[in-house]
């Protein structure tokens, strides 16, 4: 427990040292709604695959209505490897269609991302604490149609607690909170320092079955930029399916029962 507390203190102090001096700058605020569907497939005891489909709606400088403008759509393909209960290693390749993203620019900007991620779990009875370490490369198309590469490092700490059980299973409600700090290697995006952004989230979820869960969260995204800081207030919906295709296949392949007896 002491090591987990030390990590929490380190993350908080890093956040305070980097973010607080930047908040005093001029700010532009956006309200956004994000929806995501995650499809997870277990391959064996150690390997799993995942596909995430997501879209984000937002108001913009020229449109006040949130649902009027779809600013971003994306698809992410993950591969997960968990050799030990406390460690999980992942990689992904993703495509983002940035249609009207404020901190990139109010223009269409296709983007590819690749990443490597390590996750460590501090498993405790009654709650879970984990930290994510991710290195990623963004290939972003600029206004001239040239793809620029931006290297980023992301550090995330997440706390999750089931409310009506000691573990996650069917019928359980859970709450969670996370803090993530993101750094970039260069200033190819319009920015002022190597600090790219901070994301704080708080939310709750419910497991309808062991293989279907829904999460609802509020995310505060702070983005420092030279021409004024950006704050995104995001309402996020996430629906997660485990082994959906295999279960549908089993249902389709199952033969209907035939009642015996004379007609």
Strand partners, 221: 199, 232
- Six-digit token string for 171: 């019928």
- pLDDT of 259 > 60? The answer is no
Confidence of residue 143 (pLDDT cuts 50, 70, 90): confident
pLDDT tens profile 229-253? 899 999 999 999 998 766 666 667 6
pLDDT tens profile 22-44? 444 557 899 999 999 999 999 99
Regarding the domain with residue range 2-253, which homologous superfamily does it belong to in the CATH classification?
Answer: monomeric porin ompg (2.40.160.40)
Query: CB-based contacts of 7: which residues, under 8 Å, 6+ apart?
Result: 131, 157
CB 205 within 8 A of CB 176: yes
Query: CB-based contacts of 241: which residues, under 8 Å, 6+ apart?
Result: 37, 38, 39, 40, 211, 212
Q: What average pLDDT does this structure show over 137-150? A: 89
Question: How many other C-beta atoms can be found within 10 angstroms of the C-beta atom of residue 78?
Answer: 19
Q: What average pLDDT does this structure show over 2-26? A: 50
- The domain spans of the chain are 2-253
SS (H, E, C) 182-227: EEECCCCCCCCCCEEEEEEEEEEEEEEECCEEEEEEEEEEEECCCC
pLDDT tens profile 111-130? 999 999 999 999 788 899 99
pLDDT tens profile 179-197? 999 999 865 454 457 889 9
- pLDDT of 256 > 90? The answer is no
Confidence of residue 258 (pLDDT cuts 50, 70, 90): low
């Amino acid at each position: 427990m002491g090591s987990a507390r030390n990590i929490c203190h380190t993350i908080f102090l890093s956040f305070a040292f980097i973010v607080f001096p930047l908040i005093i700058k001029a700010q532009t605020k956006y309200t956004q709604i994000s929806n995501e569907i995650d499809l997870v497939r277990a391959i064996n005891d150690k390997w799993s695959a995942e596909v995430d489909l997501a879209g984000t709606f937002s108001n913009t400088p020229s449109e006040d209505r949130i649902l009027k403008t779809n600013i971003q759509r994306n698809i992410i393909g993950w591969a997960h490897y968990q050799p030990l209960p406390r460690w999980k290693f992942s990689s992904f390749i993703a495509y983002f269609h940035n249609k009207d993203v404020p901190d990139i620019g109010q223009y269409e900007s296709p983007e590819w991302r690749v990443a490597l991620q390590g996750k460590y779990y501090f498993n405790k009875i009654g709650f879970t604490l984990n930290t994510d370490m991710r290195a990623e490369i963004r290939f972003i198309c600029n206004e001239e149609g040239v793809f620029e590469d931006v290297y980023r490092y992301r550090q995330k700490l997440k706390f999750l607690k089931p409310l009506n059980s000691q573990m996650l299973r069917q019928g359980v409600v859970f709450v969670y909170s996370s803090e993530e700090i993101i750094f970039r290697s260069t200033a190819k995006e319009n920015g002022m320092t190597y600090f790219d952004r901070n994301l704080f989230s708080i939310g709750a979820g419910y497991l309808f079955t062991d293989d279907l869960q829904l999460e609802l969260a509020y995310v505060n995204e702070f983005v420092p930029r030279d021409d004024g800081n950006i704050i995104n207030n995001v309402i996020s919906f996430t629906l997660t399916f485990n082994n959906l295709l295999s279960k549908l296949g089993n249902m389709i392949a199952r033969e209907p029962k035939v009642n015996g007896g004379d007609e």
